[in-house]
Amino acid sequence: MNAAPHLAALIVSILLAASGLAAEAAPTDQQTSQDPAASRPAAPYIIEISISRTLLTLYERHGTGKMFPVAQYRVGSAMRGLTTYPLGPGRVTAIQFDPWWHPTAYSRQVFRERGISLPRAVPPGHPLNYMGPFKISLSHRTWKGAIYRIHGNNNPRRVGRRVTGGCFVMHNRDGLELARRIRVGTVVNIVP
């Protein structure tokens, strides 16, 4: 496997982040971090998510400009054949702990076809809450306007497989560790 395209995309995202050109405002309908430590300056991290490798790598930037991988996590990613997911650099726009899940009308329809009636809002801790104990919102959007997130799950078998409609699902313990480590504004680069 040639790592050059991934490295080039990561370098571009770092340069965009340093110049401020890639910055996007947090959507007004998203809550900002509920973590009391969120008032600290953003940590010098960059996240790279590989859809095909179902892998999230957390890099730490040092004052010398060098980056070092400090953690790797398996993620569930977009199912094969799905072509609407976004690629390239973006940012973390919100971090929430114990989030409610607001399934789309389409999600509710899919669940109805499986014999499950989903409410418009699923509370934290509920067995049908697909967000799990954390939700990291991303600035990435599809051409259809779909919002992308990194979140926990209620089915650990989904992690490490290409089974989602686009979001990235993590083991709850790993995701909580990541959510507590990064800050709103962290660069996220999605690669194929």
For residue 69, give the 3-state DSSP assignment: strand
DSSP notation for 106-139: HHHHHHHHTT----SSB-TT-TT-TTTTEEEEEE
Give me the residues paired with residue 187 across strands: 46, 91
102 belongs to the catalytic site: no
Q: Are 115 and 60 in contact (CB under 8 A)?
A: no
Nearest C-alpha neighbor of 87 from the set 12, 153, 172: 12
Catalytic residue among 6, 126, 140, 151: 151
Token representation of residue 1: 């496997």
Nearest C-alpha neighbor of 186 from the set 76, 35, 28: 35
167 belongs to the catalytic site: yes
Buried b (16+ CB within 10 A) or exposed e, 31-52: eebebeeeeeeeeebbbbbbbe
Give the distance from CA 27 to its chain's centroid: 15
Q: Whole-angstrom Cα distance, residue 61 to residue 67?
A: 4
Catalytic residue among 62, 102, 140, 167: 167
Residues with active-site annotation: 151, 167
